[in-house]
Structure 1
Amino acid sequence: MDPAMDTRPATFPTGGASSSSLIFLGTGCSGALPDARCLIQPSTPPCAVCSKALSLPPDRNPNYRCNTSLLIDYCRDDGTQNYILVDVGKNFREQVLRWFVHHKVPSIDSIILTHEHADAVLGLDDVWVVQPSSHRNDIEQVPIFLTQFTMDSVAARFPYLVKKKLGEGDDFARATQLDWRIIEGDIDKPFVSSGLEFVPLPVMHGEDYVCLGFLFGSRARVAYLSDVSRILPRTEHAISKSGAGQLDLLIIETNRLHGVGDARSCHLTLSQSLDAVKRICPKKALLIGMNHEFEHHRENQMLAQWSLREGIPVQLAHDGLRIFIDL
């Protein structure tokens, strides 16, 4: 089996035959991969990653990357499964067709939004296809957790999804039934989504824009930072081995392979992401949010060498990857 496509259980503590898991619905940048510009306006020589991205089916091609999104399959102590979706980007319908079907995910129970950019919210109109329904086929409301800033932006984009009262003729205007719940981007103000506690982790996503990551899990501690250019000191303390305690898994973006980044950048480069991994010192790290500079197998070979040298296993994640972990 190709190790890059191995979705067998990872080496995390599990609670028995039934366990929680993390399903990576997307691991790419906002534009997703292949980058359409590389195909309609090919360079000389052509972009190797985007040229190959259409040569294999996506389920066998880790360089085919949809917008970054995570599905948390949370197994409660009584065996109940809850599915918590983090971000609903532009490729959400494709992610449902590929990975909900592949992993036999029947519906979602709640949604969490990291911020209001297009690659995190533009799939909200398609959420209705994965909402639970009653025996009468009535769609049930799904709680969605977001900041007031994100709420205001979503309301302007999707007024029909947030209006409180339906007018005459609006029977089909709100196929997606969402229960909007405002959270604060404060480490000291955790919230519970489908039985699992989340601690907001504010990070900078550009010079003057705050995005949220999240810390979750009590048996195994996981931090998820999908859009970040700089980790704030208080956030880093909350997730670092030298601060509040070692993470079992750090999921952090690395958008560009080359460059060192600057104050105007909205994303971490690979060198910056690896520096953050060294400072935070998790037991294991997975990288997400990659653009077309990253060739999955080549970069994972390089990361395997880095991991041996630094003593922290780090790899690129890929769309469809499922990690079993006891939350």
Structure 2
Amino acid sequence: MDLLSHSQDTAALDKPLRLVVLGSGGSAAVPDIACVTNPRGLGCACCMAAMTKEGKHNVRGNTGALLIVPQQDGSERNILIDCGKTFREQALRIFPKKRLRRIDACILTHHHADAIDGLDDLRSWTYQAAVEKSIPIYCTRTTYQNVAEGFPYMISKKAASGSGAVPSFQWHVFDETEPLWIAGIRITPLPVHHGVYFTSPPSPLISMGFLINSTLMYCSDVSFIPESTWATIAREVTLPSSTGTYSTSYPPLPRLCALIIDSSSLRLSKSHFGLPQALGTARRLGALKTYLTDLPHMTSHECWLHFCEDYGKGREPDKEVPWSSGGGGRRKEVWRKWEEGEQQGPYAHVYGEFDPVDEDFEVFTEKALEAIEEWDGGVLAGRRPWVRPLADGLTISWTEGESVDISEERVWDDLYH
């Protein structure tokens, strides 16, 4: 399984790269069936809004995206990131609207159902070469083995049954320590923890984040980032010191333009970052813009946005919150390291009076600010990153460059900016 480099394709790096969000929700997607079928009409505000035309930004498929890479000949190459359970319905909704059709390659983060179960729907692209004859799939050895065990016909057509109408793939197992070159761009795998296997003792389940041309980082399923992965990032991206300063290097490393990061709630879970960990990661990366993904039901798009706007204005919690990891008082650093196994308070402690059915934006924002303060101890004034919740169908565009003194104007999207 030699790595396919698409060496015949050369990216036009003077043109913006684009990333179309195909899904911004968790594994159960939004709306949640238990909410919308609640016999007493007590579904959460997010799910009930998702059932209306006005609440379209609350419809969230499994996390996934389509990276669009311009080529020197004026064409484009499309790289799918994950293909989960909701891929088909998201493609039906988003592809025609965005005038998308081809899938030139697919890269997988891990082997969970919300990342791979939509692969079977790619038969619509490859059966009888309807759009393309075959799609190259890039994944780790672990993901490949899980697909081979669960869906053997995707690996070998000899395992097919029925009519034999199955998708056609070219499988490429990549080395987690080496970058991929696809469609003329460099994609660096970033191994992160995404919960554990329930062995004795437990061992981490490894998922992949991806650093795209050292300017956008996509990390949809993460509960901890090992220091070895931070070292990989530091070899490709200019990172701030803990006081927020940037050192110059030669040759200069680019600044991270945009971060798409897991933020499944206000607290760290066994398999996902919460908001405090997502924002702590954004500060350590020095990301110009941060987009939150893996957003479950129980909190609406509008509620997340209310928090993000207030946070970006420098709002602090109304009450004094002791820093749980530092013995009280506010920290003075922009970011801190944390160890695997650190915990936040229980759900009731973090969420307090917030009621997802009768959603109060002010209560949510206050609880979010308290959770951030308690986990991270505050940050230097004026160092709050630009943060927004992702929405399905949103397109992020960015231009590249090497200077660390670059503006947010280098990154834009078709919803907020």
Q: TM-score, normalised by structure 2?
A: 0.66
Query: Residue by residue, what CA displacement relative to the aligned partner does 1:219-274 show, whole Å, maximum 9, x if unpaired?
Result: xx111001000111132341561386531111101011x33x26xx1001112211
- Code of the residue aligned with 1:224 in structure 2: it is Y
Taking a change above 3 Å as real, the CA distance of residues 305 and 133 of structure 1, as seen in their structure-2 partners, is farther
- Code of the residue aligned with 1:286 in structure 2: it is Y
Contact 2:127–2:168 at 8 Å: present in 1 too? no
Write the mapping of 1:58-97 to structure 2, written as runs, cut at 5 A: 61-97=56-92
1:153 equivalent in structure 2: 146
Query: Residue by residue, what CA displacement relative to the aligned partner does 1:147-206 show, whole Å, maximum 9, x if unpaired?
Result: 111001001121111116578x87x525311000001222xx111223322100000101
Separation (CA, whole Å) in 2 of partners of 1:191 and 1:116: 19
Separation (CA, whole Å) in 2 of partners of 1:250 and 1:242: 15
Deviation for aligned residue 1:63? 0.8
Q: How many residues align?
A: 298
1:10 equivalent in structure 2: none
- Code of the residue aligned with 2:179 in structure 1: it is P
2:256 equivalent in structure 1: 247
Give ranges in structure 1 of 5+ residues lacking alignment: 1-13
Write the mapping of 1:116-155 to structure 2, written as runs, cut at 5 A: 116-131=111-126, 139-155=132-148
1:8 equivalent in structure 2: none
1:281 equivalent in structure 2: 286
Contact 2:34–2:43 at 8 Å: present in 1 too? no
Deviation for aligned residue 1:74? 0.7
Contact 1:108–1:131 at 8 Å: present in 2 too? no
Contact 2:85–2:115 at 8 Å: present in 1 too? yes
1:290 equivalent in structure 2: 295
Write the mapping of 1:10-49 to structure 2, written as runs, cut at 5 A: 15=14, 19-41=16-38, 45-49=42-46
Contact 2:125–2:132 at 8 Å: present in 1 too? no
Deviation for aligned residue 1:50? 0.8
2:51 equivalent in structure 1: 54
Separation (CA, whole Å) in 1 of partners of 2:34 and 2:133: 40
Taking a change above 3 Å as real, the CA distance of residues 231 and 62 of structure 1, as seen in their structure-2 partners, is same
Taking a change above 3 Å as real, the CA distance of residues 103 and 45 of structure 1, as seen in their structure-2 partners, is same
Taking a change above 3 Å as real, the CA distance of residues 42 and 74 of structure 1, as seen in their structure-2 partners, is farther
Deviation for aligned residue 1:37? 1.2
State the secondary structure of the residue aligned to 1:66: coil
Taking a change above 3 Å as real, the CA distance of residues 323 and 42 of structure 1, as seen in their structure-2 partners, is farther
Separation (CA, whole Å) in 2 of partners of 1:320 and 1:282: 22
Separation (CA, whole Å) in 2 of partners of 1:43 and 1:306: 35
Separation (CA, whole Å) in 2 of partners of 1:192 and 1:255: 31
- Choose the corresponding residue for 2:208, options 212, 215, 218: 212
- Choose the corresponding residue for 2:105, options 110, 116, 132: 110
Separation (CA, whole Å) in 2 of partners of 1:37 and 1:154: 29
Taking a change above 3 Å as real, the CA distance of residues 139 and 321 of structure 1, as seen in their structure-2 partners, is closer
1:173 equivalent in structure 2: 164
2:229 equivalent in structure 1: 235
Which structure has the larger Rg? Answer: 2
Separation (CA, whole Å) in 2 of partners of 1:115 and 1:213: 9
1:5 equivalent in structure 2: none
Contact 1:25–1:99 at 8 Å: present in 2 too? yes
Contact 2:83–2:114 at 8 Å: present in 1 too? yes
- Choose the corresponding residue for 2:155, options 162, 169, 189: 162
Taking a change above 3 Å as real, the CA distance of residues 128 and 195 of structure 1, as seen in their structure-2 partners, is farther
Give ranges in structure 2 of 5+ residues lacking alignment: 1-12, 197-203, 242-252, 315-382, 401-417
Separation (CA, whole Å) in 2 of partners of 1:268 and 1:112: 22
Deviation for aligned residue 1:43? 6.9
- Choose the corresponding residue for 2:312, options 288, 299, 307: 307
- Code of the residue aligned with 1:193 in structure 2: it is I
State the secondary structure of the residue aligned to 2:310: helix
What is the alpha-carbon root mean square deviation over aligned residues? Answer: 2.4
Taking a change above 3 Å as real, the CA distance of residues 43 and 204 of structure 1, as seen in their structure-2 partners, is farther
- Code of the residue aligned with 1:179 in structure 2: it is Q
